[in-house]
């Protein structure tokens, strides 16, 4: 993760990503991965600004996923600041953990919680449904 670059696209979007393959003289296509759009939010009174990251393309923050980016659409590029880079690493770690799915320990805890709920006195049981009469 040493080739993390911040791009400003012609559309105005700012993208933070890891560059896998740069464009060359014969093709303007770059290969990137783990791309996030940088979103700047400002409070109505302009007293507070917030920078947050969201996936540039939905479902593409996974192991082995790459994106082909047309380098002709890049207006500017820069090395991200330390703060944005730290935010990127934390956000990426959370997304990777999310897509890896629950661990065995997580599943055991969920199963235990479900057992506690079904044994609770606050749970009302419905009468069995005759599936032959369902439409």
pLDDT band at 128 (very low <50, low <70, confident <90, very high): confident
Distance between CA atoms of 38 and 6, rounded to whole angstroms? 9
Among the listed ranges 58-72, 74-88, 101-115, which one has the minimum average pLDDT value? Answer: 101-115
Q: What is the pLDDT of residues 15-32, one digit of tens each?
A: 999 999 998 888 889 999
pTM of this prediction? 0.67
Q: Around Cβ 77, how many Cβ atoms within 10 Å?
A: 12
DSSP state of 12: S
Q: What is the pLDDT of residues 96-114, one digit of tens each?
A: 876 666 677 777 887 888 7
Q: What is the pLDDT of residue 109?
A: 82
Among the listed ranges 12-16, 54-58, 123-127, which one has the minimum average pLDDT value? Answer: 123-127
Domains of the chain as residue ranges with CATH? 4-119 (2.30.30.100)
């Amino acid at each position: 993760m040493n080739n993390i670059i911040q791009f400003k696209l012609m559309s105005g979007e700012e993208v933070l990503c890891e560059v896998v393959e740069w464009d060359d003289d014969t093709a303007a296509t770059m290969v990137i991965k783990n791309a996030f759009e940088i979103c700047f939010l400002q409070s109505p009174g302009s007293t507070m600004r917030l920078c947050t990251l969201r996936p540039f393309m939905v479902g593409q923050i996974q192991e082995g996923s790459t994106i082909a980016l047309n380098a002709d659409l890049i207006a500017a590029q820069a090395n991200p600041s330390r703060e944005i880079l730290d935010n990127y690493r934390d956000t990426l770690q959370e997304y990777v953990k999310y897509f890896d799915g629950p661990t065995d320990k997580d599943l055991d805890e969920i199963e235990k919680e479900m057992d506690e709920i079904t044994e609770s006195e606050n749970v009302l049981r419905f009468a069995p449904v005759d599936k032959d009469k369902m439409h």
